[in-house]
Amino acid sequence: MTRLIKFRVGDSGRSRFGLWEQTEAGDRVRPLDVGSAFRASSLAEVLHAPNPQAILAQAMQLEVESFALEDVSLLPPVDEQEVWGAGVTYLRSKVAREEESERGAYFYDLVYAAERPELFFKATARRVIGPNSLARVRSDSRWTVPEPELVLVITPAGKIVGYTLGDDVSARDIEGANPLYLPQAKVYDGACVIGPAIVPAWSLADPKTLTLSLTIVRDGTPVFQGEAPVARLVRPLEDLVAWLFRDQTFPQGVLLFTGTGIVPPDDFHLAPGDRVEITADGLGTLRHGVAPLASHPKPTPTM
């Protein structure tokens, strides 16, 4: 299965893109950014091309130096795209939202069955963090959870060209207090984790055959485990994309979180030092930690 990644070698600071290959010698990273010998300058440019398979086939003919996977740092597989989310697309998510928000429960019930889905802005590319990074809990939240999701990679023309994994970290207490607080519950630094790789659509015939699993480890011990088949998602993926592109353009393309079917119990809250693992066969495992609460400095007032 083809897996496309962004990575950094050592302390160079340079972001690169390539193929994650499984060989007899172990997992290797084959760079695709080989300058004038290659026709694409970014991962998005490859995926948005009319025939990305042909571009990759051409690149595979070139002699390039590869790297052991353990010698590179994986970056979020995002270039300049916006990141959006879809909500209340699984029954489990609907029930959880109704439980957390007594006053807003009626609206969650309506949107679950409505023709128009819930869609919301999640992050700019700058705010996305990648594998092995530290997600954050808002300083004013006492009930924040991971939300493991299938993420669609979409071209400027609205075509799904790839799939990856994401964690839509969310402050349930803030959203539960008032549904209008959703942007504050979901849009903040360290709340959008994506990776480890993009699997092109031609390598994955039917993403609804996938099963997502979530494991949260605290002090070396799993404190929560759950899984959900993507087949339980109540809306066609293409329908979510069509609504997202209605009266909107995305010149750089867009990534879309598709909702979660895994919700930890109501007494669970992410804590500093937790390790989160989100897995789907074929897409790999997205791992990240949780930062200390004091890791985000408060801005200094100017007046």
**C-alpha closest to that of 263 among 129, 133, 172:** 172
Considering the domain architecture, whether residues 225 and 257 belong to the same structural domain is answered as yes
CATH number of the structural domain spanning residue 262: 3.90.850.10
Q: Output the six-digit token pair for 20.
A: 């994650």
Distance of CA 138 to the CA centre of its chain: 19
Considering the domain architecture, whether residues 136 and 68 belong to the same structural domain is answered as no
Whether 301 is in a domain gets the answer: no
Q: Give backbone dihedrals phi and psi of 160, rounded to 5 degrees, phi first.
A: -75, 120
Considering the domain architecture, whether residues 166 and 100 belong to the same structural domain is answered as yes
Q: Output the six-digit token pair for 236.
A: 């066609």
Whether 300 is in a domain gets the answer: no
DSSP 148-209: EEEEEEE-TTS-EEEEEEEEE-EEHHHHHH-GGGHHHHH-STT-EEEEEEEEEGGG-S-GGG
- Give the least confident one: 3-17, 101-115, 193-207: 101-115
Considering the domain architecture, whether residues 178 and 51 belong to the same structural domain is answered as no
Considering the domain architecture, whether residues 142 and 191 belong to the same structural domain is answered as yes
**Number of structural domains the chain divides into:** 2
Q: What pTM does this model have?
A: 0.93
Considering the domain architecture, whether residues 154 and 194 belong to the same structural domain is answered as yes
- What lies within 8 Å, CB to CB, of 210 at 6+ separation is 150, 204, 229, 230, 280, 281, 282, 283
Give 77-97 pLDDT, tens digit per residue: 999 999 999 999 987 665 655
Considering the domain architecture, whether residues 108 and 201 belong to the same structural domain is answered as yes
Give 16-64 pLDDT, tens digit per residue: 999 999 988 899 999 998 755 566 789 999 999 999 999 888 888 888 8
Considering the domain architecture, whether residues 51 and 28 belong to the same structural domain is answered as yes
Whether 298 is in a domain gets the answer: no
* Radius of gyration of the chain measured on its C-alpha atoms: 19
Q: What is the span of the domain harbouring residue 100?
A: 82-292
